[in-house]
């Protein structure tokens, strides 16, 4: 199997490549980088065939499953826009990496370019948009909606009928109660207990979660 990662950071690289090795131990992984590499990639897991190439000069991406190799919303957006312009890509060309030790309900909807780590539970009728990151140990409740490029950090629990916008970051261990709405671009701090709606474009945290400040856009 051939897997192409568009861009990769040292922080996300170890997680993504280890997940690939867990599910596809004999995969051949090509990382196409849009910026010069600043390290020798010490995060590479043993036994996985990984090669790094620069996007400059490549007329077309290699064949195989294609995915954005970053976890945070801003990085995902930037990398995707670069390669979309370069190769006129459609979001339908992105594949998913879902760790085999996660549980995905048969009625859940998973968008293109989604990355799901081990120990996650995606409940019935939940819907994940494109390029969503779901870190280890996360639970997403029934009928909840997660917007494009949103990053859900380890140990978060999102209850049922929750609406999370695009480019949102939920900090580690955050608890989001049922029927709450979180607006686009909001950042919810780790350990927060979200019992009411969070507006778009704000930093919010605490128990109960409250708005701290507006974020620059």
Active-site residues, by number, are 142
Q: For residue 57, what is the DSSP state?
A: T
Burial (CB < 10 A; 0-12, 13-18, 19+), residue 39, is exposed
Q: Say if residues 171 and 154 touch (Cβ distance below 8 Å).
A: no
> Whole-angstrom Cα distance, residue 187 to residue 35?
26
Taking only Cα atoms into account, the Rg of the chain, rounded to an integer number of angstroms, comes to: 17
Beta-bridge partners for 65? 3
Quick count: other Cβ atoms within 10 Å of Cβ 114?
Answer: 22
First to last CA, the chain: 39
CA of 1: how far to CAs of 23, 27, 73, 140, in Å? Answer: 11, 5, 27, 30
């Amino acid at each position: 199997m051939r897997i192409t990662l568009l861009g990769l950071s040292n922080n996300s690289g170890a997680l993504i490549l280890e997940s690939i090795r867990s599910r596809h131990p004999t995969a051949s992984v090509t990382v196409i980088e849009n910026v010069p590499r600043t390290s020798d990639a010490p995060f590479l897991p043993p036994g996985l065939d990984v090669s790094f190439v620069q996007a400059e000069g490549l007329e077309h991406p290699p064949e195989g499953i294609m995915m954005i190799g970053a976890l945070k919303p801003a990085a995902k957006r930037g990398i995707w826009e670069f390669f979309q312009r370069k190769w006129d890509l459609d979001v339908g060309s992105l594949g998913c990496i879902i760790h085999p030790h996660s549980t995905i309900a048969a009625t859940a909807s998973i968008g293109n370019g989604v990355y799901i780590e081990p120990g996650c539970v995606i409940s019935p009728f939940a819907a994940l948009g494109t390029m969503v990151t779901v870190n280890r140990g996360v639970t997403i409740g029934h009928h909840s909606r997660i917007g494009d490029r949103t990053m859900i950090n380890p140990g978060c629990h999102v209850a049922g009928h929750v609406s999370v916008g695009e480019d949102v970051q939920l900090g580690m261990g955050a608890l989001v109660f049922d029927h709450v709405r979180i607006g686009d671009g909001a950042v919810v701090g780790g350990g927060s207990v979200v019992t009411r709606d969070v507006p778009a474009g704000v930093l919010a945290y605490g128990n109960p979660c409250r708005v701290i400040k507006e974020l620059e856009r």
